[in-house]
DNA sequence: CAGGATCCGTCTTGATACTG
DNA sequence: CAGTATCAAGACGGATCCTG
């Protein structure tokens, strides 16, 4: 159960028509956790930074070059968030010029597996999603032209 | 490899100091996909709605009551997005009053597993994350008071 | 019942310039 | 090199009211 819902009931679940549907093992204790976690890693850059750091420890500018399109500001903020949540360690060498290494913690490395499964789903099913989106767009414009035919008949 | 990076190189990866670090099997073909997928499902309500629908087909108002805190507007938008991407089907019965059922498609049901693994990670490691956040906040305020001691000595 | 339309504040992101 | 500071723009989400 991945829900964050009110009625994480146990046992058989009844639909509105009282017909038993799929049964799952609910885990109420983690319902809120999923949403919060996704709120944390679901932003625009976090997964890419984590994915980048999955290769190993990396310096600030190296991540900056690796994660295409990220700005200094966003990288700094993302790394700070990850460090704050204990997913990344920041090691500063007070040399001149300064050098800062970032590395995934054990916690951060454990996150790689779930992200990998999400990655696999994404790569495998993205064509289907794109197709669905295209089909949906077509139906939309079709319906729009239908409406237009009756609302603006000149 | 879950990255969305430029140098999804193959084989051994070298750090800035030319010391070989962890080696992973990169899959450049899916780099962008992860980011896009998370952009899709990483919003505030999508996972909760999917989690709710994982129980089985459900009517609009039932989801509304199940997903605590969601507004009509957000539920409608979320469901429309999911339908557009082929993760959810919308079945309308033109009765009075109207009745609309939402149900996960096969694609949507396949998404449950990755979300489940993310859920498991979240429930298992959330205490650690909260602890890390608390520790970080403490260090922050500590450093802040240090600074204050020297910048505003009255 | 299941939305659609509107308004409006907030949060996020990006661009740019500056610094120890 | 590795950031910080500031500003502007746009996306996002919530509240409210309306409807077939």
SS3 A12: coil
Element (H, E) at A99: strand A99-104
pLDDT tens digits along B36-57: 888 889 999 999 999 999 999 9
Taking 70 as the threshold, does the pLDDT of residue A79 lie above it? yes
Weakest-pLDDT range from A149-153, B70-74, B122-126: A149-153
CA distance B152 to chain A (A): 27
| Mean pLDDT on B80-100 | 97
Q: Which residues of B touch A57 (CB under 8 A)?
A: 15, 21
Instruction: Supply the pLDDT for residue A59.
Output: 98
| Mean pLDDT on A82-102 | 97
CA distance B16 to chain A (A): 8
- Closest nucleotide to the alpha carbon of A96, via C1': D1
Instruction: Supply the pLDDT for residue A37.
Output: 83
C-beta atoms of A133 and B1 within 8 A: no
Taking 70 as the threshold, does the pLDDT of residue A6 lie above it? no
- Average pLDDT in chain B: 80
Which nucleotides of chain C does any protein CB come within 7 A of?
1-6, 12-17, 20
The structure's pTM equals: 0.83
pLDDT band for B12, please (50, 70, 90 cuts): very low
CA distance B154 to chain A (A): 31
pLDDT tens digits along B20-34: 344 343 444 456 677
Distance B120 CA to C4 C1' (A): 38
Q: Is the CB of B61 under 7 A from strand D?
A: no
Instruction: Supply the pLDDT for residue B149.
Output: 61
Residue, of B34 and B105, whose pLDDT is higher: B105
pLDDT band for A35, please (50, 70, 90 cuts): confident
Q: Which residues of B touch A43 (CB under 8 A)?
A: 42
With beta carbons less than 8 A apart as the criterion, state whether A51 and B2 touch.
yes
pLDDT tens digits along A95-125: 999 999 999 999 999 999 999 999 999 989 9
d(CA B104, CA B99): 17
pLDDT band for A150, please (50, 70, 90 cuts): low
Q: Given A43, A111, A123, which is nearest B29 (Cβ)?
A: A123
d(CA B152, CA B154): 5
Which nucleotides of chain D does any protein CB come within 7 A of?
1-6, 12-17, 20
DSSP label at residue A14? B
Q: Which residues of A touch B111 (CB under 8 A)?
A: 121, 125
Taking 60 as the threshold, does the pLDDT of residue A154 lie above it? no
Cβ neighbours, 10 Å, residue B44: 14
- Tell whether the torsion through CA atoms of B79, B82, B87 and B92 is positive or negative: positive
Taking 80 as the threshold, does the pLDDT of residue A92 lie above it? yes
C-beta atoms of A55 and B21 within 8 A: yes
Q: Which chain A residue shows the shortest CA-CA distance from B41? A: A42
pLDDT band for B121, please (50, 70, 90 cuts): very high
The two structure tokens encoding residue B81: 């997005």
Weakest-pLDDT range from A7-21, A139-153, B37-51: A7-21
Which residue blocks in chain A are alpha helix, DSSP H?
31-41, 46-53, 60-66, 72-84, 106-151
Instruction: Supply the pLDDT for residue A45.
Output: 94
C-beta atoms of B36 and A118 within 8 A: no
B114, exposed or middle or buried, with CB in 10 Å at 0-12, 13-18, 19+? Answer: buried
pLDDT band for B5, please (50, 70, 90 cuts): low
C-beta atoms of A15 and B43 within 8 A: no
Q: Is the CB of A98 under 7 A from strand C?
A: yes
């Amino acid at each position: 159960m991945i829900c964050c819902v009110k009625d994480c009931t146990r046992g058989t679940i009844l639909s509105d028509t009282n017909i038993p549907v799929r049964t799952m093992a609910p885990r109420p204790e983690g319902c809120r956790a999923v949403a919060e976690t996704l709120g944390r890693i679901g932003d625009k850059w976090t997964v890419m930074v984590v994915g980048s750091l999955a290769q190993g420890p990396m310096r600030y500018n190296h991540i900056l070059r690796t994660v295409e399109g990220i700005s200094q500001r966003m990288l700094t903020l993302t790394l700070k968030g990850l460090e704050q949540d204990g997913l990344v360690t920041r090691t500063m060498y007070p040399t001149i010029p300064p050098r800062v290494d970032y590395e995934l913690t054990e916690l951060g490395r454990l996150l790689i597996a779930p992200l990998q499964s999400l990655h696999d789903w994404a790569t495998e099913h993205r064509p289907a999603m794109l197709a669905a989106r295209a089909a949906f767009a077509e139906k939309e414009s079709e319906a729009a032209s239908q409406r237009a035919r009756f609302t603006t008949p000149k």
